[in-house]
Structure 1
């Protein structure tokens, strides 16, 4: 067997980990985010037991490239202090692990890696370059493979490189020279992107070829090329990785050294790397009392955080997977599934839309590291069982509620199997949702979880099916490769969920959120999505035509004002017109410092000139047309005649549901045009749309959480709470409150929940900042309990690193100790709002569970068809509507026991808008 060397691009991973992970810190407040990400990657590499390994970093100071071009990397901002502080401890850990650490002056880490890779490959050693830098693709060749452990991407051949970049490995240098690199301040051919560079190299083979035929390339891009010809040879020299650096070590000097266990133990303990510490000392070793989730560093000193769950032996390794293609093997697996207490399952399909996807195969796993894949619709499989036979075989176990099922985003699989005649029962766990409840601020896709919790780089979909235009349907993936991918999904899902649930069990409140709210909601949402909503495409068509006419009128008015034609969709043209020609004073800047033309910027200058108001009108009309009136009709499912949204339980960190394809949460309701869109959501003949909506639920939750007597009194009285608030603030009777005073009180009531400052309130009310500050001071003097609650919540957030809802859901706040004032202020605002928004989310989810149970016997008479923020929407028989709204309103008001009543507004009509 040939030897192997792993060359790790430490500088690349350090920067990527810093920007990919939140600004984590240890108990002493030292930053650890980038450190943690890189060390996790190193631990995974060491498990591969290579013959040789090196961790390569850039040395300080310039390189030969700066001599070639003084502007090389000249525009890079200084390294953030929080990143710089992690370099020294990283080097200490690397060396304590026994990894050779290389930093060579005068060249970059890429050049050191390129030299070592060339040496080793020529000696017949298998080289794995571990990097996230695309420039390294030029090194791919015989015995040299690129691996990006953060994404799982692998490039082992020209075919792999071509699939990613559209050029061969030996063309990468020229490819980069043509495009340039903004990060490194290498100016390429203007407007030459990936596709253009690949096209030219396909036609002319090399940079020299492109330069020789520059006169043949027409258009503006051809002009750009000819104007840049003088620069391109230098670009090539800058992007070419040196492979002949004079090094003190050769690849054969880079064997793994003995690790310094005592030093590693001290470093892991200091930086809160509890999983690494346990791995170092063995299963029985003590861990920090604070603990932390698997593969997550300690964010703050927090005794309330659950202790880390020990990773079972071998769980960071790949499993053994089989393809089931004959009836004997199928029967054996089904018998095992039937006798199991629980198993993980997954589907492979033809599309992402579960309402249209066709089944291609199924995978199952009962025990970790052992799983199967059953193909049913692969196009070129030499042998596979008929789909009907497989579905008949697995239907009894999938429909048996006594056998627990585990999935990853299982709602998708439930839809697919339902449409293929299987009603999945007994769904107990979902590794996506168990991860979400543990910590909603991190990523919950299976690949990210596997890397974080298992140190395992899973096979990605792109690995087996390709990417972009060259991606093939899963039905065409070769069976052995499909099995590796699909069976691994079921296996890793089983492992991840076991770890997640074990950790949830250490915190009863979190376990309750998972078991009593999130998991029971999965089949409820699946039913709502399957029910769908009826859309009147003709109504939308007429609305689109009207919006188009008004958009044209806005364009014509803008043309009159500007005195010439202007593209209202071009920020560049608008910026030049508004700020250069008209001389308006920009109030909002882009991150680069240029005047902004976004909505906030235009609102800020709308009182200076008519044109910003016209642009805002145009954009509002365009957004409605492009997002809803033009698209909703096209999204009608041809099989059902309805639109089926997809609700995402893990889409918002506070626990609120989000929806997509289409997004029903963002239909504007404050404008007449937005409300008109809802008139297209209709009921079939003989039926009506009914809507039940919580009234001021987040403000009621604020009253409950703060316990403020005056605020509780305002809700208990049943009067208009904003008018009651205005009476308190301005020292008047309720009847004497003016409209403007009520409006100010309403802005304060809702604004404070979102951390609104005096500046923000002044802007909203159109008053001076000192006047808004006086309003806020008066408010807090009348509602001291609200101020006390807000102060206590901020303190809790800083002490624990998280806040909680009434039901125990947690929102972690990784930026609460950030040195960046903006990030820290944002975390403090989130700390105030999250308990209210999260509690509201929990309450309506609990209400949906109760309503779904009540509505089940009446399924022929009523359907729950939408959840939008604090509102539930139904389609029901006209003569059943009164019964439905009465019962649903009752169930919604009983979904939580707060100190103030939960009030539900309801209505019904021929369409969604009429129900309000």
Structure 2
């Protein structure tokens, strides 16, 4: 049967504009939306339809505006960047051979609706290419002699071709879609509906009463507030239905069979593709590419016109094969399992994902496991689904025994998405996974750390694929069920998709890394080897002294009470120190203190910055800050840590996040050990509660001034290089240079000022910031900075060189080649641009420090593996590693670990490591 493709051009233009990054061509013309639409059209042409047309909205009002003048009144005007792409889009569409249809007085939806029903009646299968849910009202299965009407979302690969498919998506039949839309209303199009009536409520009413007219007739029987809302909305519901109905009777000058594709205008296409930088399309046009295969195009960030965009920053709808729905099966018999085991062994590489009953990997029990060896096909192994009526499943112990040879074979490559979690789960079930070779989260992170790296976002961005969300199969909120209660058919769709999408993502990301050798070295040499190391550190955990924490909680509580009493005395009345509203009234209305910091809504702020700004004008803000500091320590650490002790291990297990910070630094959570405020005595006391078991000690090894040493290496400043080579106190040496003293003459205040300058300049601190930090005048601070740069001219040159590199390339690099892309480096907003420049200066130092300690951790982990458990690496905090060590092994570790840490990078200055030991973490400093 012939097929007609009706392309909803208006919908795709807007969706591509918002879905794709802000690309421009070499001349600075915006191309992002244009790029998305063109790739969609190329994919359509690859399918070779018999007829096709590109339908867009005509300018001017439509009949809906006459019915309801407020129709679409809420829509903002088209952005200038998008408007600029409409005309070139139309030129390319016509050059590709499509007829463009726009009919005054109606919308593109009505033109498409009319052609769809006309064509279906003439025996033509209709594909409506759109992402607009309203078109579901047109879905038709073929009757005798007529054609099918189906919806295809080219951006996600989803297809809707039957009443069952519409019901699965929306909970109503295709014939009920208009009534559903009328009940829900539409805030975007400004269609009035029933307030607070969402899709579930609308579907429930229509299931009970059949049609909108049925709902209206029974409005008096619907109870509660939603019933009141319905009855108040009754007068406008017929209008809402009329506005939501797609017309199918528009007078058109062309019939469906008149919409043949014309021959391509190759010369025009070549000119347009070249102008807008669509290189793959250009290759395809000239016979050097594969027709219809959609690949990444080069581009530039909007507004710059100066540098090649980041590798992952200019994604396009991919090869349709990677966007299509997958085929998944549940493995319920031993013969199925054996067949899949043979596939896994023969492939030598497979994607893996686990399903469990907990987000905490140290407590999670395995419910099922999914595997994939080829894109588009995957399987789910249910192992512990225990809902009433669940089918018989293979024995978990037997399955794991069958999988063990593969999972523990380093020659068989395993792929995952955030696979560290899966390694934990399998280790808890007795399997030590070897050969974990690729992680799509980390591939994405290394390519561009500024992107989102969760599977849902990656699938949308790289594959144009909308994944099944966990809530869709397990529910959400108080009604969420454990995964073991999810029906196996639903669990298979969700879980097998995870393995399949992981494999698809790897097929897209791996070539991108291979095209960037420096980034691939970061990925292969630093990030991937670190995954099992972090898994072991997390599994090792650390002991905490719960009794010591309880004592600290009691002491903090007493001091918080004293601070409350002091605050009450200063205020002359009682008030709630935890209430921003009461604080605002007291500080700014009663005490008349200046509101120097405002909230985004322009109200006086009472955050830490705001209170610090007025702490010199009244004693009360300082007391409130003191109270808050105590409260935070109590709630975050002394009260919480004892509750976080794992009942099976008796230890606290933090989680480390490799993709947590754009610079590459590790982040930690549950608990977050990076933020213990060690500059205060109370913060340092927290570390006393991290203890060694009997017969063991804690050893802390910390890089000394590593970022300053990296600054010396990068800047090649002679003064800094000499100071570090001589082993001098760098802050004292800086003070001697800035203040014209000998090292012996430098005072403690001068050293403090020099320290502020050294670290402040690394973070882009201005004279104003330095003045506030040191409590001196801005002019004096500016003189300090000027003197510093005169003594260390290499630092000044490095900073300017780095800013220039950032402006030209759009990114900066660490010593090892890790990149940080700077999206705001060309922004017109001065504050955003200045922030990007500060990041450009600091990121190479902070990122290199992160790379160095990661390299050290991998090396040390390999050495510890041969020590028979005499020492465990248990914590990484910023530039520090903490070990739990047999008392008799401490000396060996103190010889070996600092040397390995110092050898983790070859810089122009030596890396120095400070070490200490004790019964608790505080003593080890």
TM-score class, shorter = 0.7 to 0.9
String of CA shifts for 1:485-534, please: whole Å, max 9, x gaps.
33333333234324433332333322221221111111111110111111
- Counterpart in 2 of 1:30? 29
- Counterpart in 2 of 1:243? 245
2:399 corresponds to 1:394: no
2:418 corresponds to 1:375: no
Q: 2:461 aligns with which of 452, 456, 464?
A: 452
Match runs of 1:459-498 below 5 Å: 459-498=468-507
1:359 Cα deviation after fit: 1.6
Match runs of 1:725-874 below 5 Å: 725-874=734-883
1:399 Cα deviation after fit: 0.7
Q: 1:491 to 1:216 in 2, by over 3 A?
A: closer
- Counterpart in 2 of 1:337? 344
Identify which range, 714-723 or 838-847, moves more after superposition: 714-723
1:845 Cα deviation after fit: 0.5
Equivalent pairs counted in the alignment come to 894
- Counterpart in 2 of 1:644? 653
Q: Are the aligned partners of 2:184 and 2:199 in contact in 1 as well (CA < 8 Å)?
A: no
- Counterpart in 2 of 1:604? 613
Match runs of 1:72-111 below 5 Å: 81-82=80-81, 84-90=83-89, 92=91
Q: 1:158 to 1:338 in 2, by over 3 A?
A: closer
Match runs of 1:258-277 below 5 Å: 258=262, 263-274=268-279
Q: 1:200 to 1:319 in 2, by over 3 A?
A: closer
What SS class does the counterpart of residue 697 from structure 2 fall into?
Answer: strand
Q: What runs of 5+ residues in structure 1 fail to find an aligned partner?
A: none
- Counterpart in 2 of 1:437? 446
Q: 1:500 aligns with which of 505, 509, 523?
A: 509
Alignment partners' CA distance in 2, 1:71 and 1:583: 49
Q: 1:361 aligns with which of 368, 388, 392?
A: 368
Q: 1:476 to 1:566 in 2, by over 3 A?
A: same
1:560 Cα deviation after fit: 5.3
Alignment partners' CA distance in 2, 1:581 and 1:233: 52
2:671 corresponds to 1:662: yes
Q: Are the aligned partners of 1:53 and 1:100 in contact in 2 as well (CA < 8 Å)?
A: yes
Match runs of 1:318-337 below 5 Å: 318-337=325-344
1:234 Cα deviation after fit: 7.8
String of CA shifts for 1:247-278, please: whole Å, max 9, x gaps.
56599859685566655554444344445555
Q: Are the aligned partners of 2:11 and 2:130 in contact in 1 as well (CA < 8 Å)?
A: no
Alignment partners' CA distance in 1, 2:202 and 2:916: 59
Q: Are the aligned partners of 1:13 and 1:132 in contact in 2 as well (CA < 8 Å)?
A: no
Identify which range, 495-504 or 657-666, moves more after superposition: 495-504
1:746 Cα deviation after fit: 1.7
1:780 Cα deviation after fit: 1.3
What SS class does the counterpart of residue 452 from structure 2 fall into?
Answer: coil
Q: Are the aligned partners of 2:615 and 2:622 in contact in 1 as well (CA < 8 Å)?
A: yes
Q: Are the aligned partners of 2:327 and 2:377 in contact in 1 as well (CA < 8 Å)?
A: yes
Q: Are the aligned partners of 1:158 and 1:169 in contact in 2 as well (CA < 8 Å)?
A: no
Match runs of 1:304-323 below 5 Å: 314-323=321-330
String of CA shifts for 1:190-235, please: whole Å, max 9, x gaps.
xx89899999999x99999999899987xxx99xx99x99999789
Q: 1:397 to 1:70 in 2, by over 3 A?
A: closer
Alignment partners' CA distance in 2, 1:62 and 1:714: 76
Q: Are the aligned partners of 1:9 and 1:110 in contact in 2 as well (CA < 8 Å)?
A: no
Q: 1:347 aligns with which of 334, 341, 354?
A: 354
String of CA shifts for 1:581-608, please: whole Å, max 9, x gaps.
5444332333343333332233223334
Alignment partners' CA distance in 1, 2:410 and 2:296: 30
Q: Are the aligned partners of 1:149 and 1:457 in contact in 2 as well (CA < 8 Å)?
A: no
- Counterpart in 2 of 1:876? 885
1:790 Cα deviation after fit: 1.2
Identify which range, 820-829 or 168-177, moves more after superposition: 168-177
Q: Are the aligned partners of 1:121 and 1:127 in contact in 2 as well (CA < 8 Å)?
A: no
Q: 1:199 to 1:99 in 2, by over 3 A?
A: closer
What SS class does the counterpart of residue 857 from structure 1 fall into?
Answer: coil
Q: 1:545 to 1:60 in 2, by over 3 A?
A: farther
Q: What runs of 5+ residues in structure 2 fail to find an aligned partner?
A: 142-148
Q: Are the aligned partners of 1:344 and 1:366 in contact in 2 as well (CA < 8 Å)?
A: yes
1:568 Cα deviation after fit: 4.2
Identify which range, 631-640 or 688-697, moves more after superposition: 631-640
Q: Are the aligned partners of 1:375 and 1:384 in contact in 2 as well (CA < 8 Å)?
A: yes
Identify which range, 348-357 or 573-582, moves more after superposition: 573-582
Alignment partners' CA distance in 2, 1:609 and 1:707: 47
1:438 Cα deviation after fit: 2.0
- Counterpart in 2 of 1:537? 546
Alignment partners' CA distance in 2, 1:883 and 1:698: 28
Q: 1:361 to 1:874 in 2, by over 3 A?
A: same
Alignment partners' CA distance in 2, 1:549 and 1:154: 63
Q: 1:199 to 1:345 in 2, by over 3 A?
A: closer
Match runs of 1:164-203 below 5 Å: none
1:646 Cα deviation after fit: 1.6
String of CA shifts for 1:469-490, please: whole Å, max 9, x gaps.
4444333444344334333333
Alignment partners' CA distance in 1, 2:797 and 2:507: 40
Identify which range, 444-453 or 784-793, moves more after superposition: 444-453
Q: 1:585 aligns with which of 586, 594, 604?
A: 594
What SS class does the counterpart of residue 632 from structure 1 fall into?
Answer: helix
Identify which range, 610-619 or 435-444, moves more after superposition: 610-619
1:366 Cα deviation after fit: 2.8
Alignment partners' CA distance in 2, 1:83 and 1:257: 26
What's the C-alpha RMSD, in Å, of the aligned pairs? 4.8
Q: Are the aligned partners of 1:531 and 1:644 in contact in 2 as well (CA < 8 Å)?
A: yes
